[in-house]
Chains A and B, each alone.
Chain A
Amino acid sequence: MSSPSRAAGATIRGVGRTSRIPLPALAVSSLVLVSTALAFVFFVAPNDANQGFSQRIFYFHVSLAFTAYACFIGGAWKAFRHLTKRDPRADLESYVLIHQGLIFGTLVLLTGSIWAKISWGVWWTWSEDELVLFLVLYLFYCAYFMLRFSVDPGPQRENLSAVYALFGVVLIPVSFLAIRLAKEFLHPRVFTLHGPNFGGWILVTYCVAQAALLVLAYTLYRLELSGKRLDLRLRRLREVLV
C-alpha cells in the first residue's frame, strides 16, 4: 500500500465512528414504537370532553414540538463541542441534528395549523404562543441553511454554522419570553385555554408518542449521518485516487 492511500485511510477513520446501537435495531424499534403510539392514540386514549376525537392530534403535535426542541438543542451542543473541543465529527452532527429539527418543526407547524382549524375554525392563530415561537424558530433555522450553503465547505463554514446554531439556542427562551410579553399589547383579551386533564391513559399515551418520536428522530439522525459520512469518505477517496 502506498503512503498517500494509508494517509487517506487515517483521515477516513477520523470521519466515521462505530456506534453502539446498530441502525437496523433502531429502525425496528422506531417502527414498533410508532405503531404502538398510533394504536394508543386512536384506540386507548379517551375522547376529549370539549374537542372530541380531533383533540388526539395533540399527542403528536406536542411530542413533535418537544422532539424538534431536542434536535435544536442537540445541534447547539454539537456546535459548542465543535468550537471548544475542535471535535472533527461535531460539525456534521450539528448540521444533521438541525436538519432533523427543521423537518420535525415543519410537522409541528402543519399539525398546529390543522389543530387551529379544528379548534378555532382558522388555519392560523397568533394566540398560540408555541406555534408563533415555532414560526420564528423556523425562519431562524431556514436562515441557518441559507448561511451554511452560502459558504464553501471548510473551517469557515463550520465555524459560522456553529456560531449561528448557538445563537438559536439562546433565541428559544428569549423569543418565548418576548411572545409572552407581546400578548399584553397584541391580544388585550386574554385567552385561557384549559388543557386536558393530564393523567391516566392520556399521560401514558403522551409518553408513548413522545418516546416513539424521539427514537424515530434519533434513527433518522443516524441514518442521515451515516449517509453523509459515506458521501464524505467517497469524496476523500476520489481525491486521493485522482
Chain B
Amino acid sequence: MSYFRDVGALARKDLLLELRARDTLPAMLLFVAATFVIFHFALPGTPSRLETTGLLWIAILFTALLGLGRAFVPEREQRTMDGLVLAPCDRSTIWLAKSLATLAFLAAAEAVALPLYALFFHSIDGTTVAAVVLADVGICGVGAFLGAMAVATRARDLLLPLLFLPLAMPIVVGAVGATVGPPVVSSPGRYLGFLALYDLLFAVICWASFEYVVAE
C-alpha cells in the first residue's frame, strides 16, 4: 500500500507545482488549438472524416510531446532528481507518478481539444473517446520513461521526440484504426485491444527497468 501512497505523493507534488506555476497546461491548450487552425489552412478543400482523423491524432501526439518535454524540467532546474532517487521509496514510483501527472495534463488538454475538434471538423463517437483514453496511457507511460532518459543527456528536450516517435508508431496505428471505424475498419474493438496490449506490455517494461535509468 505504501507504494501507492508514494506514487500519490509524488504525483500530487507535480500537480501542485503546475497549479502554482501554470507552465505546461496553458501551453498544451494553446498549442492544440493553434494546431487545429493550422490544419484547416494546410488542407485544401473540405477534408473528409478520414483525413481529419489523422490530423486529430497528430495533434494529440504532438501536444503530448510538448507536455512530456516539460515533465522532468522542474527536477532538472531545481536539482531535485537526486533527492527523488535518494528517497526511501521504490524508484519505479518516480516513473509512475510522472506518468500519472502527465496523463492528467494531457486529459485536461483533450477535454478542450476533442470538443474543439468536433466543432471545427467532425463529430466524435464513444470509440474515439475509448481510443483516446487507451492511447493516452501508452503515450504518457512510454513518454515519461523516455523523458527521464532524455533529461539525462546533453541534448535534453531535443532527444525526446527522436526517441519517442518510432515507439509511438504502434499507438498511432491502434488509435487511428479505432477512430476510423466502419465501414473502413470492420471491428474497431480489435484496435482497442491492440492499444490495451501495447499499454500493458510497455508499462511492465518501463516499471521493471526504470531503476536503471535513474541509477548512477
Interface, chain A (partner B; CB < 8 A): 83, 136-137, 139-140, 142-143, 146-147, 150-152, 155-156, 159-160, 162-164, 166-167, 170-171, 174-175, 177-179, 181-182, 184-185, 188
Contacts and interface: CB of A to CB of B under 8 A. Distances in A.
B174 A181 contact: yes
B167 A171 contact: yes
Closest 9 CB pairs of A and B: A140-B166, A178-B170, A150-B153, A178-B173, A159-B212, A150-B155, A143-B162, A182-B173, A139-B166
Chief secondary structure at chain B's binding surface? helix
Interface size bracket, B side: 20 to 34
B194 to A, nearest CB: 6
A151 B167 CA distance: 21
Nearest to A152: B154
B174 A139 contact: no
Contacts of B180: 185
Contacts of A188: 184
A174 B170 CA distance: 7
A176 to B, nearest CB: 9
Interface in B137-151: 149
A170 B202 contact: yes
A17 to B, nearest CB: 24
Contacts of A167: 167, 205
30 contacts: A83-B212, A139-B166, A140-B166, A143-B159, A143-B162, A146-B159, A146-B162, A146-B163, A150-B154, A150-B159, A151-B154, A155-B215, A155-B216, A156-B152, A156-B215, A160-B152, A160-B153, A163-B213, A166-B209, A170-B201, A171-B166, A171-B167, A174-B198, A178-B174, A181-B173, A181-B177, A182-B176, A184-B177, A185-B184, A188-B184
A181 B174 CA distance: 8
Contacts of A160: 149, 152-153, 212-213
A185 B173 CA distance: 9
A182 B184 CA distance: 11
Interface string B178-216: 001000111000110010001001100100010011011
